[in-house]
């Protein structure tokens, strides 16, 4: 429990999850690590840097970023910066998530970095999620109400919005910037739609992801299906809960 026996601060929960995942998955044999984006990953990089600079471990480890933010984090902590040109094979990628359902389907991209995050995760042997307890759900939409982010080419945002709404219902909204006039522009120069799907409808997320990805003008979706194998959640009671991806019956 937290000091007062009540819920621990969300930041403490993020930190516990991130430290546990780094300590469990990053070893002297880990040569290349994918570094996700967001507020939880800050603690993962902090822990990696402690191990490199205070504990004298992991000296040769290379970090591949998933956004401008994570590139800066790697540089600020004096870790070795890599890229997919030189490091296309990643041992472990650690990232945050906006929501994780019971089948380990993820919503990502709340921070707008979904495209590079998915590319880097797809190059990793092992993809691990770190999050606080507010991200853990039985079904998508239970906790995260801001919709599924979809990165689109600026010229296609209207037709893509209309097609998604016609195909799957709900509403896809162009994400507007704060302290900048007009829409958010991603690290890749694109726009974002936040698709507020119909929470009560049963969706096959694998199918939805495939169909939306094939719409002309869509660069990537924030639906990560069959990618993560473990999620570390910092819980309100001060513990870390580990969720494993359940394997299909024919793989068990
Ligand atoms: O997908 C992301 C950014 O595009 C983040 O990983 C996600 O938004 C979670 O962020 P946080 O750790 O701040 O809760």
Dump pLDDT digits (tens) for 35-56. 999 999 999 999 999 999 988 8
- Tokens read off for 90: 């990643």
Q: Give the distance (Å) from ligand 1 centre to CA of residue 251.
A: 30
Active site residues: 117
Q: What is the pLDDT of residues 110-147, one digit of tens each?
A: 999 999 999 999 999 999 999 999 999 999 999 999 99
Tell me, yes or no, if the pTM score tops 0.90: yes
Residue 249 confidence (pLDDT) above 70: no
Residue ranges and CATH numbers for the domains of the chain are 10-137+226-238 (3.40.50.1360), 148-217 (3.30.70.260)
Distance from chain centroid for Cα 162: 26
Contact 74, 46 (CB under 8 A): no
Q: What is the pLDDT of residue 59?
A: 81
Q: Which residues contact 23 (CB under 8 A, 6 or more apart)?
A: 47
Average pLDDT of the chain, as a whole number: 95
Contact 33, 107 (CB under 8 A): no
Counting from 1 in the atom list of ligand 1, the atom nearest the Cα of 114 is: 4
Nearest alpha carbon, ligand 1 atom 7: 97
How many CA atoms does the CB half-sphere of 230 hold within 13 Å?
A: 17
Residue 248 confidence (pLDDT) above 70: no
Does the beta carbon of 212 lie inside 6 Å of ligand 1? no
Q: Give the distance (Å) from ligand 1 centre to CA of residue 250.
A: 33
* Torsion (CA) 206, 18, 27, 112 in degrees, nearest 10: 50
């Amino acid at each position: 429990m937290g000091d007062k026996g009540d819920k621990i601060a969300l930041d403490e929960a993020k930190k516990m999850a991130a430290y546990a995942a780094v300590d469990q998955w990053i070893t002297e044999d880990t040569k290349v690590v994918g570094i996700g984006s967001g507020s939880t990953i800050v603690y993962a990089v902090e822990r990696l840097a402690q191990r490199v600079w205070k504990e004298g471990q992991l000296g040769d480890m290379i970090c591949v970023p998933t956004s401008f933010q994570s590139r800066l984090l790697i540089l600020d902590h004096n870790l070795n910066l890599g890229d997919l040109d030189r490091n296309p094979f990643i041992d472990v990628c650690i990232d945050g998530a906006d929501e994780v359902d019971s089948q380990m389907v993820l919503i990502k991209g709340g921070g707008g970095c979904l495209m590079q995050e998915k590319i880097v995760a797809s190059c990793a042997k092992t993809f691990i999620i770190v999050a606080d307890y507010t991200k853990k759900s039985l079904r998508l939409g239970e906790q995260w109400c801001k919709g599924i982010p979809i990165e689109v080419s600026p010229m296609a945002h209207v037709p893509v919005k209309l097609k998604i709404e016609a195909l799957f219902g709900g509403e896809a909204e162009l994400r507007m910037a704060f302290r900048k006039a007009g829409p958010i522009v991603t690290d890749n120069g694109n726009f974002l739609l936040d698709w507020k799907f119909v929470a009560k409808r049963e969706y096959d997320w694998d199918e939805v992801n495939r169909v939306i990805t094939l719409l002309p003008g869509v660069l990537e979706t924030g639906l990560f299906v069959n990618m993560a194998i473990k999620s570390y959640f910092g819980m309100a009671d001060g513990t870390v809960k580990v969720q494993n991806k359940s394997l299909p019956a024919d793989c068990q």
